[in-house]
Amino acid sequence: MKTFETILEKIKAYDTIIIHRHQRPDPDAIGSQAGLRQLLRHNFPEKRILATGINEPTLAWMTSMDEVTDSDYQGALVIVTDTANTPRIDDDRYQNGDFLIKIDHHPNEDPYGDILYVDTTASSASEIITDFALATDLELTAEAARLLYTGIVGDTGRFLYPATSSKTLNIAATLRGYDFDFSAISRQMDSFPYKIAKLQGYVFDHLEVDENGAARVLLTQEVMKQYDVTEAETSAIVGTPGKIDSVLAWAIFVEQADGKSYRVRLRSKTAVINEIAKNHDGGGHPLASGANSYSLEENQAIYQEIKDLLK
C-alpha cells in the first residue's frame, strides 16, 4: 500500500490524468470519480483531468462524463476509483496509460495497478477521496463536496449501514460545510418514479422467504418490460426486501437480455455473504455483493447457500 503523499507526487508528475470507475455505476462510483476530477481540476488548472465511462441515465443529475480519445492515454496517468477487479472497470482503455493507480474500499482480491491505495475500513471510495484531499491539503470546492457527499450517502445507505464509522460522519460533516443544496440531494436519493414504486409492490408480492429469513425474488425480462424499467433501474429496489423485519439476507435475480444469464444482487443485514458471491463469478462487501448466474439451477444453488448460511 502507498500513502496519499505518494499518489499526490504522481498526480503532480503528469499533465493528463484520466479517471475511471466501475461498470453499472452507483452514486459512490460517480461521486468518487467525478469528485476527484473536480478536486484535481481546481487544484491543478494547468492539467487535463478527464473522467470516462458510460453516462448512466439514472445518475445524470450528479454529473456527466468527458469525451476521451485513444490519443489522450498517451503518457497519461490513469486512476481507477471504487473498482475491486479489472473486469469491472468501465472502459478497457484504462490499461493504455503510462501509469495506473487503484483507489478503492472493497476487499483487495485483485491488486492491479502500479500504486494501490485500498482501505476496507472506509465506507466508500468517496470517503477515501475526501480523506486524500484533507490529508494532502488540497482545496475542496462546493461541487467536489457535493459529489463526494452524495457518494458517501449512497454507499452508507444514508448512514445506516455498518461501514458508517465516526470517521465517516466527521468527513461527511466537513463536506456538509460547503455550499451545495443538501436538501436537493436528499430529495433526489429518497425519491423514485412511480414505475419503481409499482415494481416494489411486485417484489413484495413475489418475494419468497424461508423460516430463517433467507429471501429471493426473480425479475425476468418480461417483468421488466411490464413495469417499463431497465436493468439499471432495478437497482432502486435492491434494499426493498430488507424493509421486512423477518428478512435477514436476500438475493435479487435479474434476467439478462440473452435470456440465459442473471445478474445477482446479494444483501444481508448481519451474515457475511460475499463468499457466496465469490463462488458465483462475483464479489464485493461482506454485506453487499454482486454475482453472476448462468442458469435457473445456479439461481437455486445460490439461494440454497443463503439458506444454509442462515440456518
At residue 1, the pLDDT reads: 47
Beta pairing partners, 307: none
Give the sheet arrangement for strand 288-293, strand by strand: 208-209, 214-219, 249-255, 262-268, 288-293, 283-284
In order along its 311 residues, the chain shows pLDDT tens digits of 469 999 999 999 999 999 999 998 999 999 999 999 999 999 999 999 999 999 999 899 999 999 999 999 999 999 999 999 999 999 999 999 999 999 999 989 899 999 999 999 999 999 999 999 999 999 999 999 999 999 999 999 889 888 999 999 999 999 999 999 999 999 998 888 999 999 999 999 999 999 999 999 999 999 999 999 999 899 999 999 999 999 999 999 999 999 999 999 999 999 999 999 999 998 888 899 999 999 999 999 999 999 999 99
Nearest residue to 36 (alpha-carbon basis) of 91, 93, 80: 80
Q: Residue written as cell 478536486?
A: 39
228: left (phi over 0), alpha (psi -120 to 50) or beta: left
d(CA 54, CA 51) in angstroms, rounded, equals 10
Query: What DSSP state is assigned to residue 223?
Result: H
153-163 pLDDT, tens digit per residue, is 999 988 988 89
Helix, strand and coil percent figures for the chain, each rounded to 5: 45, 20, 40
d(CA 131, CA 36) in angstroms, rounded, equals 11
Which secondary structure element, helix H or strand E, spans residue 20, and what is its range? strand 16-20
Domains assigned to the chain: 4-189 (3.90.1640.10), 194-310 (3.10.310.30)
246-279 pLDDT, tens digit per residue, is 999 999 999 999 999 999 999 999 999 999 999 9
Kindly tell me the sign of the dihedral angle through the C-alpha atoms of 160, 269, 224, 210. negative
Q: Do the bridges between strand 249-255 and strand 262-268 make them parallel or antiparallel, or are there none, so unpaired?
A: antiparallel
Please compute Rg for the chain using Cα positions: 20
At residue 87, the pLDDT reads: 92
d(CA 5, CA 180) in angstroms, rounded, equals 28
d(CA 140, CA 163) in angstroms, rounded, equals 24
Residue 273 cell numbers, joined: 455473504
Q: Residue written as cell 501509469?
A: 99
Reported pTM: 0.86
**CA of residue 144 relative to chain centroid, distance:** 17
Q: Residue written as cell 476527484?
A: 36
Query: Helix 166-176 and helix 125-135: axis angle, to 10°?
Result: 70
CB 307 within 8 A of CB 212: yes
